[in-house]
């Protein structure tokens, strides 16, 4: 059984309590991870505060080199980390290796930007010189979810470090191992002690302690809407920047002139990571003229998917926990009660492991729970539509606004729809995953703050304006 301790100030202290991490494909234990309590978190914040005083002075070239070394360390340990990622998330080793690669790319991307964290000069009279600089915030707190733990940790830790901040990160109880491995890689890369601290532990204890610690000057959270709003409420007496990424109910819209093969492939991308993805295209809107022919292609693809206990053989991995599996099943039941049809799937295939069959639901009312709430499972719901105006209205009829897909060969139409969809990202003819180089904004209840791309550099810094009186007389 693997053992993981905390990572605080360059040390690996253990604590009295431990979590047992289980493999979602079997619910068998795979590791024991020390659980941080309030005192451990306070110590981690203390270490991060102390380390900030020197880390903020490290020049951009050196900071960049540290990030490059972390990226290299991740690649060197790719097989080992991917194995841990597979054990805790149930995803295939190939998929997990890709996650390690993406994590390395985040560190490389932000390594390349450390010299771009710069201010501007403000034109005033010649007797004055006004310039701005972007200063780091101090200690940043990162609360990580379990659905894509390493990648989601890297997407916020890399820019925070690049900007000269220090980090205290709390991985999810259900999947902390790959994130702890990232901490070890950073330590082995020589990142100064206290710059990156890891405090695995319960959300309501370690997470809450991080959120309420007034020495933490920024918080990044990815997870449920309920906890995100709770965090916002908790820090409402502090004017600190928040990055909240709270999920979605994304529309994927297929017009009658679309390349149907490509669109069907895009529709079933929902089943990656068993639908446990914030940007998954969960609501499939299909033009009436092509609805039956298109759904046939989607069903054909779904029915060819393998659900197997071996993570390297399955196309649809296990859900993270038995309770997640029960919740997905309850959503499907509720759809049937609301008058919907389960076209394919809708069952728990094995007695052990948290698997759920890839499922397509048709004829669900727009106000049914499956149409409105984030299911976070392998469940796609399909709807017919007749006009652009109608589909835009229905696509926007959700509290979320993270992502959307549009499939059409008419680029004017694509542009019209992209302009009217209330979502941070609209993909056209390719339901592509987020990438470090492009921003990942959120509309409505999907989140607040700025992640990815150069937007993250603005988030993890504050602007200071310096205005000087200068003597312009030559002597």
Q: Which of 151, 153, 243 is nearest to 441 (CA)?
A: 243
Q: How far is the CB of 138 from ligand NDP (least distance, A)?
A: 19
* CA distance readout (Å), 278 to 145, 148, 379, 416: 11, 10, 13, 25
Output the six-digit token pair for 371. 């149409």
Q: How far is the CB of 116 from ligand NDP (least distance, A)?
A: 28
CB 453 within 8 A of CB 439: yes
Q: What is the largest CA-CA distance in the chain?
A: 88
* Residue 453 Rama label (left phi>0; alpha psi -120 to 50; beta): left
Please report the DSSP string for 20-72 in residue order.
Answer: EEEETTTTEEEEEEEPP-HHHHHHHHHHHHHHHHHHTTS-HHHHHHHHHHHHH
Q: How far is the CB of 219 from ligand NDP (least distance, A)?
A: 9
CB 381 within 8 A of CB 361: yes
Coil, helix or strand for 170? strand
Q: Which of 9, 40, 458 is nearest to 213 (CA)?
A: 40
Coil, helix or strand for 404? strand
Q: How far is the CB of 163 from ligand NDP (least distance, A)?
A: 23
12 versus 224: smaller Cβ distance to ligand NDP: 224
CB 49 within 8 A of CB 20: no
4 versus 146: smaller Cβ distance to ligand NDP: 146
223 versus 436: smaller Cβ distance to ligand NDP: 223
CB 89 within 8 A of CB 175: yes
Apex CA 143: angle with CA 71 and CA 373, to 5°? Answer: 115
- Residue ranges binding ligand NDP (CB under 6 A): 143-147, 170, 172-173, 202-204, 207-208, 211, 222-224, 227, 230, 245-247, 278, 374, 376
116 versus 234: smaller Cβ distance to ligand NDP: 234
Q: Which of 186, 182, 219 is nearest to 55 (CA)?
A: 186
Exactly one of 108, 245, 357, 373 is catalytic; name it: 245
The whole-angstrom separation of Cα 244 and Cα 402 is 12
CB 141 within 8 A of CB 157: no
69 versus 88: smaller Cβ distance to ligand NDP: 88
CB 435 within 8 A of CB 155: no
232 versus 394: smaller Cβ distance to ligand NDP: 232
Q: How far is the CB of 206 from ligand NDP (least distance, A)?
A: 8
Exactly one of 108, 278, 357, 374 is catalytic; name it: 278
134 versus 180: smaller Cβ distance to ligand NDP: 180
Q: Which of 276, 278, 258 is nearest to 266 (CA)?
A: 258
Judge whether 372 counts as a catalytic residue.
no
The whole-angstrom separation of Cα 319 and Cα 317 is 7
Q: How far is the CB of 145 from ligand NDP (least distance, A)?
A: 3
Residues with catalytic annotation?
245, 278
């Amino acid at each position: 059984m693997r053992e993981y301790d905390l990572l605080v100030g360059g040390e690996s202290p253990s604590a009295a309590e431990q979590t047992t991490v289980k493999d979602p494909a079997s619910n068998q234990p795979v590791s024991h991870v020390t659980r941080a309590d309030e005192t451990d978190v306070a110590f981690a914040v203390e270490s991060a505060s102390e380390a900030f005083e020197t880390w903020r002075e490290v020049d951009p070239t050196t900071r960049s080199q540290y990030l490059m070394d972390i990226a290299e360390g991740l690649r060197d340990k790719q097989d080992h980390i991917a194995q841990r990622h597979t054990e805790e998330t149930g995803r295939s080793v190939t998929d997990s290796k890709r996650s390690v690669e993406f994590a390395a790319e985040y560190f490389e991307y932000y390594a390349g930007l450390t010299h771009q964290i710069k201010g501007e000069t403000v034109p005033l009279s010649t007797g004055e010189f006004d310039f701005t600089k972007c200063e780091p915030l101090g200690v940043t707190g990162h609360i990580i979810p379990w659905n894509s733990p390493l990648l989601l940790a890297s997407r916020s830790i890399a820019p925070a470090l690049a900007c000269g901040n220090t980090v205290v990160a709390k991985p999810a109880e259900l999947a902390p191992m790959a994130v702890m491995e990232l901490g070890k890689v950073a330590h082995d890369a020589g990142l100064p002690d206290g710059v990156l601290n890891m405090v695995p532990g319960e959300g309501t204890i370690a997470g809450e302690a991080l959120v309420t610690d007034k020495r933490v000057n920024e918080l990044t959270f990815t997870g449920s809407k309920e906890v995100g709003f709770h965090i916002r409420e908790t820090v409402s007496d502090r004017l600190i920047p928040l990055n909240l990424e709270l999920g979605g109910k994304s529309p994927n819209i297929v017009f009658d002139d679309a390349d149907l093969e490509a669109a069907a492939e895009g529709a079933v991308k929902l089943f990656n990571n068993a639908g446990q993805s914030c940007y998954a295209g969960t609501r499939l809107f299909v033009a009436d003229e092509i609805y039956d022919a298109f759904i046939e292609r989607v069903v054909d693809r779904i029915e060819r998917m393998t659900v197997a206990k071996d993570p390297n053989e399955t196309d649809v991995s296990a859900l993270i926990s038995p309770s997640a599996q029960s919740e997905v099943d309850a959503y499907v039941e509720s759809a049937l009660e609301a008058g919907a049809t389960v076209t394919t799937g809708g069952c728990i295939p094995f007695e052990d492991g948290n698997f759920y069959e890839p499922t397509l639901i048709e004829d669900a009312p727009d106000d049914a729970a499956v149409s409105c709430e984030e299911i976070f499972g392998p469940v796609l719901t399909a709807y017919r539509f007749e006009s652009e105006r109608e589909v835009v209205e229905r696509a926007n009829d959700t509290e979320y606004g993270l992502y959307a897909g549009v499939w059409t060969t008419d680029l004017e139409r694509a542009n019209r729809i992209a302009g009217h969809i209330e979502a941070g990202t609209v993909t056209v003819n390719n339901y592509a995953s987020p990438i470090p180089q492009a921003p990942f904004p959120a509309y409505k209840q999907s989140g607040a703050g700025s992640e990815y791309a150069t937007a993250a550099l603005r988030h993890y810094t504050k602007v200071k304006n310096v205005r000087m009186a200068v003597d312009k007389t030559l002597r």
